[in-house]
Structure 1
Amino acid sequence: MKELITAVRDGRLDDIPALLTPLDRAERRLVLTELKVMRKEMRSWPWGERTRARKAVLVAGAGCHAGAAGCATWIGAREQREWVRSPYPWVLEVLVGRDPAWLADLARRLTARTVESEAEYQLVLELVRMAGCPLPVSDGLVRGWAERVAGSRWQQRPPRPLIDILRAEPHLGVLAPHLLDMPELPPPVTWAATQDPAEHWPTALTVLSAEGLLDRSTLLDRCVTRLVRGGKTVDMRFCLQVLRGLELTDREEAARVTDWAAMAADGPSPVAGHAQEALARLDGHGELSIDRLADVSGSVLFRTEKKLVRSQLVLLGRVLRRVPSSAEELLPVVAEAFVHPDIGIQERALKLVARHLPATAPDVRKDLAGMASQLGAVHRSAARAVFGELLVDGPAVDAYEEVLPPVPVPRRLDPAPADTAELIEEVVALVRSRSREVTAFERALDGLIRCAHNARADLADALRAALAGQWWTEPGPQADIDRRFLRNHDGLQVVAASLLGRVSEKTVGDGRARWTTSDTCCHAALDGVLYARLWEAATVIRTGELPFLLATPTWHTGALDPTDLVERLLTYQKLGLTPGPADFGQALLRVRRTDGAEAAARAASLGTAEGDRLAAWIRADEPVAPVLRRHVETESPEPQGWFPRPARSTPRVLPATNGHPVIQQEFPRSFHWLGRPHSPRRQQCSHWGDTSPQWIATLPADGETLAAWLLPFLTCEEDQRGVAWPLPALAETDGPAEGAIHLALAYGLGARYPEDRLSAVDALLILAARGRLDANLLGGELSVLIDRELMKPSRLAAAARTAAATGAYQTVLSVLVPVLTALLAREQAPRGLSDLLGVAAECAEQCGSPQTGGIAGLAATAARGGSTQLVRQAARLEAACREAAG
């Protein structure tokens, strides 16, 4: 036993099987106990030594387990998989001679666990061979099989054809059909650059089905079931390719009419299109009843994909021509398309109803006329020609009322936790999650300072126990800890480490002396203000002198009530305390300056330097960095550093900012970047994908300044998601909302990705609800961006449609009017203009606003004639305008 343990510690895998053989069951149980202890010890070993020993522990433990359940748990433990070369051949060697039923049970249990690699698939396969049992199947096992098949293709040159590999698979009939049941298909299966069965999985499966190696009915049933269930686009494409390759017979298609109906109603567009084709074929063979057609058509005509809706109308028209008596049942279904958002679909539906209306009874005609009353103004004359006196105006509607979200109400921060246990709980949660949420961070930081002032020793003891296991609490050279903290302060950890004496006093002093360089980006500058506050807090918490911090916000936005700040300064004055420069500087940047005359007078009456500075700051009521009232074109800077932003070749429209001498003269050095003039030409940034609410909370009273600084990183970068995340927060900031905020909002409304446009829509509605939206200014910015090809009109149309769907039709229309005025004045209409006209027309129809009469060129565009969407939507908008004005 001792020799075995020594071999395990040394990582001698080849010696373990022979050393295990003479041990009886009791001895193996004792060895297993030592192996469990050793496995815990290894977590602190160097990586190379730990990896060798971990393999040996895995092999020896597998041989020592008497039960299949315990052995499967031991082998499948996640921490036992830290290796490059698989140890499973030695595992199989120590299991030789076990009862076949035991091996079969082990294979089943391992398969039920997470099988994540080809090596684990091979292990289960060998266990099945040794046990002589059927192969158990799981999603993980099939993933491992797919990886092994993909890897074996490239083990020969030239690569071995996929279909030949699959033909040779002994368990193909079990594994391949399971692919169609998995929640997500393995990537090696879905990737393909050709339809050649030598490389293409769907084609290979259908060929093997034709050869009899796969059961065709099983593949067919599972494909149809998966397509009805839905899933990722790539998985649906795979199943659809297999289904088409199976080439269903007429009888097979007829047996699945319910499935085709479900796919046509709810499936992704390609799946719904295939289902439509199947239904059309069934109709041609007389296998589709009128009732079933009416039922599925009612669902399809509500879809937004115009191609699917047009195809369904074609099918309905064909049936109506062939079976005129079906008009009374099918025409009410066709009339459902009268409310489709596309006016071309509405027109097709109206023509189809007009063609077959004489075959209907009077009561059906009356019902159809009632449904036609929902048609917009552009189709009103055509509908009256079809229905005559039967067509009545729609029911009287109430006066239009704009629907906007409630005005955001600032939420007051709860006081910092007074109870030490509650404070420790919040600090530990922030440290472990690395959250940047403003309210939790500010409460915890202020709470640490307060608790250190009142019960410093108790706080230190509680933090020492709660943060045990953090990297800086482990024994190690002090120089390494100091160096890492200087490189990255780690948020609240540097404050806690300073209290516990785990970071040296010299390092804390060096951290306070650091400052943001002049050529950095705004993100680093705003972070620099936070870092200065943290290093300052790390200094004062050592003594516990300060009773609280001055810069703790009053509201969740980061804003600070000037009355609260005056009260805090008064307490400092009574205690004879001097505020920390960084803490007081951040407090000034956060204080609300509007309607602060009374607070300014009280601050001036304190008779302290800080009170005078606060009074002067409130009375001046100036932005931190005035935004220049002009736009500048800038090329992206040349790539620099390790992580440069990708250069753009198209000049962007960006504002510059001026300097603020007070920031330069009276604030700490870490704040000086904020007071310098900045041009977007000089900004370098490596904050790819970073999102920090702390940036907004640094200047909550100067949204316009923040927008100007963040604008270079809010522009429509084609390769980045999430760039528009600050827009809703900017819309909630104080101060004027002028050119910079509206330009940032314009960029967001034309962003590439839907989630960015959704952020911009939220900001648009917030600005409108607060009464801070300048529709003409925003429309002008949008026109400039479209003119310079920095925005696609179709993306703006998608964002505008989303905003309008919330009920803000009047707001959206007021923004689109100046955009349409500019675009219709062009000699050549840009792509996507019809989409913008369609959204504007929908808004005009909903809110009944005649303001579109001021769009120059609208009437001329509508009068061109033809059937293009541009002309149709222009006519629709003009008709809505006339109706509103009439």
Structure 2
Amino acid sequence: MDFDELLDGVRAQELDRMVSVMIELTDEQRRALAPQMAAFARTYVGGGWSDSRSLQKNPAAAVAAAIVGTLPASKLPAVLRRLWVSIAYGSGSRALADHLVRILQARGLTGNPKLADELARRVRDSDLSSARWFFELARQMLLRSTQAPQVHPAFVRVWITWAEQIDEDVRARPDWAGLAFSSWETRGTGARLSEPGVRSTLLQLSADGLIPRTELLEACVGALQATDRKLDLRGLVDFHEELAPSLDEIRAGHYVSLLAGAPAFVAMVAQQHLQALDAAGRLQVAELAQASEAVLVRPDKGLFRAQLGWLRAALKRNPGGREPLARAVAVGFGHPDPALQKSALELLAPYVKELPGPLLSELSSAAAGLAPDLHGRAAGLFGAEVPTEELGDPELPLAQPAAPLELLDTPEEAAEVLAVFYQSYEYWMQVDPQQIERMLEALVRWSWSDPEHLHRALAPLFGQLRWLQGEPPPRHYQQGSPGEYINVSTLEAINLCLRSAQSCAERPSEQRHRQELDPEHLPYPSGRMAGLRPGAVLNRRIWEVASGIRWAPVPVLLATPSTVDGVIEGEELRRRLLLVESAGCRPWLHDLIQAWLRVCPAERDGLLEDVRRVAGPENAEHLVGLSEVRAEVRLEGWTQTQAQRDGFGPITQEVLGTRLVGSITPDSDTLEPWNQLWHLPAPDGGRPGWSKSPWLSMWPSLLPFEPDITAAHLSREDLEAHRGAGEVVRLHAEAPGPAGAMSLLLYCYGLNLPEAGDRAATAEGLIALIGRGDLDAGQFGALLGHLITRSDLKLNRVVETLQTVGQAGAWSALRPILVEALARCLPTGAQVPPARLADLVALAVEAVHRGGSWEVGEQTDLASRLNHLAIRKSASRLRTEARRLQAALAPVAVGD
């Protein structure tokens, strides 16, 4: 049989005939056909033919038979895995697998454990949603193998989905019982137990003696210990509860480990089984103490309360075991909730007279972790002064001047930084502003002074990243109308800067410093574009660098910051202007504008004469116009009715939020696109996500001395959608200048970022603001309370971040923030309090006890709201924390 005849059989789509032919082939014929069949399979798998749903009239099924009949066993799994066979679901896939197994049997390969294992290894989760013929082939080969199957996660995830299949295979091969539970520790397999049919099948197999119940239970508990996915855990918990382990089957050590490390809903199941074991008198006191310590060290409140209830009964029942149990209760003194700390403390009150002196000393030392207002009660119980940490504000680090921006010394160092930038660039992460500025400065400087050296240094980078290779920017960008816009990303503009730098070495030296850069030749519209954002400014400036390096080099980039916060000292800008003048060049206009905006406004007048002389009167007038532009910003609450649609029809709901209202005074005709920085978003009441850009981190240095303008644009971004948004907030806070209303709004959003690292960066920014005295704590607290009232913020995130600020040494600055926030967000009358508001009140209690005092005059509105909460009849944690705050404020005298 030659290959053409084989191909005719494939095209005829006669699977039965193809199987018969493959079975009758000799080994010599297979070896002769294998090379051509391998080449055909590569082409077929890549392109494929139109498949029908019928098994017999399916060319892909015939191709599969030809592959199995000719190719060596080592190549079969990889080739078959890439072959898509579209056939009827279920019986069709099993029938095709039967045909292929017949061919493999004729070749003597059905007993090959290596081939069977490799087929199972290549099963993918996608077989769940496909015709799963490849899974069926692997399954049938494993069933015919003499060895017990190894656990391959994807194969088991597909296999354990069908209850009938589990029952059939385990009854045929009892050694397959291990697959039913030995893979549950693998992510994704425990979720299959959410199917009631799978659970009932496993239980029936256990009842029939095919799966030992003890091994099944141990495997389930072991998987609960090793798995962290809630989807897996819920299926495992359901199966564990259906197993209903008896008291004889419960091993206390395994369940104690679940108390320590498993999620709360799993630990609660373990807690209940251990409590049943203790109620039957089969749990030792040491094991109970160990379980209690494992629970009380956790922050979960439900588990904590349940454990205290269990310990209350155990302390009454076991007079001789109270010492280890008392030590276990003392672990609860460190819980973050003061109300639960108090519950743990009061649990020991009836038994302190029976405890020995050394143990009381231990408990007194442990009481140092209690809230300060519980220290007196602890001292009264344990008969000794509770050692307390020294309260009061730790010393807040003094605000330090911004560090100078370190420039790149050699072209090789510049090439290395560029390589790091391209290797680490991710479109969802924020770029490093200092890195970008240093790269641009180095390209401009070395393109002027030593382009050949720069060319040699960049050559390896261009060799490694071949997509960087291309043409530098042309002399004239615009094609067509003067207002035509070329939409190229900022990253592509940086790539053009590199190409320009490379091309400089190829130009004769007499042509390098001849032409002046014409701004009209840059790819930007002369007319105003609707919806323009600060990103256009950065893009515009980098386009100018790319063009300037190629067509009108200058010895120095004027806009490179002197310090890491984006500021340029006035004398440094004068030095750079003189350097450009002595070289006989004209400054690039947009580079000059950015440099001007980075100079302190108080120093600009002294530089204006130098600008007129070096850049010309017309460019100097552009700078004067920019200096006169101002923007006024204010925040307003708003209520908007939104129409939505669910499964039952349209519904409407009122949405509360905060909008910004801005205006420019005066409306100066400044140069595009810079005037767009003062065109604040329209007061539409929303914060739409404009684009997920990695360049948000560059915006704080655009206008370092007008942070509210930059904050107005950043606040309109959907910060939660941006990875690394906390760094943007930190950079904004570290820029010079006091924080106005929009800056404070940005910091409020920073407190609410979902990632803990981003919130930590926001805390660093607030600490920097407090350190240099630029944060209006009262205004910030008022805005924070306003947003909390409208449920715009998640209080668990806010409280955690503010506590970090306080622990850094800023408790005195944190107190007025909390006063103003609580004075606005504590409920009055029948208002429903925001979720977790008690955590914010507890933070205020901690702030009171951290030294210093508040004046009563500042607390008038806060005191009335606390009184309203304290007299409520219904018990709640919010009422408890309000009373604690009242008690903490009571000793404060007028004028303190």
Q: Shorter-chain TM-score category?
A: 0.7 to 0.9
> Are 1:512 and 2:515 an aligned pair?
no
User: Structure 1 CA distance, aligned partners of 2:368 and 2:47?
Assistant: 78
Q: Give the one of 465, 468, 478 matched to 2:466.
A: 468
Partner deviation per Cα, 1:230-287 (whole Å, 9 max, x = no partner): 412222222222111110011111xx11111122223221122112112211111211
Select between 448-457 and 743-752 the one with higher mean Cα deviation: 448-457
Counterparts in 2 of 1:26 and 1:463: CA distance versus 1, 3 Å: farther
Aligned runs of 1:371-520 on 2, under 5 Å? Answer: 371-372=366-367, 375-376=370-371, 378-379=373-374, 382-383=377-378, 386=381, 390-392=383-385, 394=387, 397=390, 400-403=393-396, 409-410=402-403, 412-415=405-408, 417-419=410-412, 422=415, 426=419, 429=422, 436-450=431-445, 452-453=447-448, 454-455=450-451, 458=455, 465-468=463-466, 486=487, 491=492, 492-495=494-497, 512-514=523-525, 517-520=528-531
| Superposed displacement of residue 833, structure 1 | 3.6
Counterparts in 2 of 1:448 and 1:33: CA distance versus 1, 3 Å: farther
Select between 297-306 and 784-793 the one with higher mean Cα deviation: 784-793
Contact 2:611 2:620 in 1 (8 A): no
Residue 539 of structure 2 corresponds to which residue in structure 1? 531
For 2:663, give the aligned amino acid: N
Secondary structure of 2:863's partner?
coil
Aligned runs of 1:539-554 on 2, under 5 Å? Answer: 539-543=547-551, 545-554=553-562
Partner deviation per Cα, 1:582-608 (whole Å, 9 max, x = no partner): 33333334x2316636xx535623642
Partner deviation per Cα, 1:318-370 (whole Å, 9 max, x = no partner): 12212222223322332333343333323333332222233334554455456
Residue 109 of structure 1 corresponds to which residue in structure 2? 118
Contact 1:562 1:593 in 2 (8 A): yes
User: Structure 2 CA distance, aligned partners of 1:601 and 1:761?
Assistant: 37
For 2:355, give the aligned amino acid: T
User: Structure 2 CA distance, aligned partners of 1:66 and 1:375?
Assistant: 72
Residue 350 of structure 2 corresponds to which residue in structure 1? 355
> Are 1:269 and 2:296 an aligned pair?
no
Residue 680 of structure 1 corresponds to which residue in structure 2? 683
Q: Give the one of 604, 627, 633 matched to 1:628.
A: 633
Counterparts in 2 of 1:131 and 1:702: CA distance versus 1, 3 Å: same
Counterparts in 2 of 1:526 and 1:734: CA distance versus 1, 3 Å: same
| Superposed displacement of residue 742, structure 1 | 0.9
User: Structure 2 CA distance, aligned partners of 1:53 and 1:570?
Assistant: 78
For 1:593, give the aligned amino acid: C
User: Structure 1 CA distance, aligned partners of 2:227 and 2:38?
Assistant: 50
Secondary structure of 2:559's partner?
coil
Residue 152 of structure 2 corresponds to which residue in structure 1? 138
Residue 884 of structure 2 corresponds to which residue in structure 1? 876
For 2:840, give the aligned amino acid: L
Residue 159 of structure 1 corresponds to which residue in structure 2? none
Contact 1:793 1:833 in 2 (8 A): yes
Contact 1:408 1:766 in 2 (8 A): no
> Are 1:221 and 2:218 an aligned pair?
yes
Q: Give the one of 837, 843, 852 matched to 2:841.
A: 837
> Are 1:31 and 2:39 an aligned pair?
no
Q: Give the one of 186, 197, 200 matched to 1:182.
A: 186
Consecutive unaligned residues in structure 2, runs of 5 or more: 51-57, 472-476, 504-518, 645-651
For 1:575, give the aligned amino acid: A
Counterparts in 2 of 1:345 and 1:846: CA distance versus 1, 3 Å: same
For 1:766, give the aligned amino acid: A
Residue 245 of structure 1 corresponds to which residue in structure 2? 242
Counterparts in 2 of 1:810 and 1:427: CA distance versus 1, 3 Å: closer
Secondary structure of 1:657's partner?
strand
Residue 774 of structure 1 corresponds to which residue in structure 2? 776
Residue 158 of structure 1 corresponds to which residue in structure 2? none
Partner deviation per Cα, 1:301-322 (whole Å, 9 max, x = no partner): 2222222122222222212212
User: Structure 1 CA distance, aligned partners of 2:567 and 2:37?
Assistant: 59
Residue 584 of structure 1 corresponds to which residue in structure 2? 592
Counterparts in 2 of 1:679 and 1:862: CA distance versus 1, 3 Å: closer
Contact 1:624 1:674 in 2 (8 A): no
> Are 1:231 and 2:228 an aligned pair?
yes
Residue 741 of structure 1 corresponds to which residue in structure 2? 743
Contact 2:190 2:235 in 1 (8 A): no
Contact 2:688 2:716 in 1 (8 A): no
Aligned runs of 1:553-702 on 2, under 5 Å? Answer: 553-589=561-597, 591-593=598-600, 596=603, 601=606, 604-605=609-610, 607-608=612-613, 610=615, 625-629=630-634, 631=636, 633=638, 649-659=654-664, 664-665=669-670, 667=671, 669-676=672-679, 678-681=681-684, 685=688, 687-692=690-695, 693-702=697-706
User: Structure 1 CA distance, aligned partners of 2:885 and 2:372?
Assistant: 9
For 2:708, give the aligned amino acid: E
Contact 1:809 1:843 in 2 (8 A): yes
Residues paired across the two proteins, number: 822
> Are 1:328 and 2:323 an aligned pair?
yes
| Superposed displacement of residue 725, structure 1 | 5.9
Counterparts in 2 of 1:290 and 1:429: CA distance versus 1, 3 Å: same
Partner deviation per Cα, 1:404-429 (whole Å, 9 max, x = no partner): 69868446143275249936962882
Consecutive unaligned residues in structure 1, runs of 5 or more: 150-161, 474-478, 502-507, 640-646
Secondary structure of 1:140's partner?
helix
Aligned runs of 1:43-122 on 2, under 5 Å? Answer: 66=72, 68=74, 72=77, 80=82, 97-100=106-109, 103-112=112-121, 115-118=124-127, 119=132, 120-122=134-136
Select between 750-759 and 652-661 the one with higher mean Cα deviation: 750-759
User: Structure 2 CA distance, aligned partners of 1:55 and 1:469?
Assistant: 41
For 2:157, give the aligned amino acid: R
Partner deviation per Cα, 1:113-138 (whole Å, 9 max, x = no partner): 57443244334224335656543331
| Superposed displacement of residue 300, structure 1 | 2.0
Residue 786 of structure 1 corresponds to which residue in structure 2? 788
Select between 866-875 and 217-226 the one with higher mean Cα deviation: 866-875
Counterparts in 2 of 1:364 and 1:123: CA distance versus 1, 3 Å: same
User: Structure 1 CA distance, aligned partners of 2:5 and 2:543?
Assistant: 50
| Superposed displacement of residue 629, structure 1 | 4.3
Contact 1:551 1:583 in 2 (8 A): yes
Contact 2:869 2:879 in 1 (8 A): yes
| Superposed displacement of residue 439, structure 1 | 3.5
User: Structure 2 CA distance, aligned partners of 1:549 and 1:270?
Assistant: 60
Select between 257-266 and 755-764 the one with higher mean Cα deviation: 755-764
Residue 173 of structure 1 corresponds to which residue in structure 2? 177
Contact 1:780 1:818 in 2 (8 A): yes
Could you tell me the percent identity over the aligned residues? 23
User: Structure 2 CA distance, aligned partners of 1:648 and 1:563?
Assistant: 57
Secondary structure of 1:650's partner?
strand
Secondary structure of 1:658's partner?
strand
How high is the TM-score relative to the length of structure 1? Answer: 0.77
| Superposed displacement of residue 500, structure 1 | 8.7
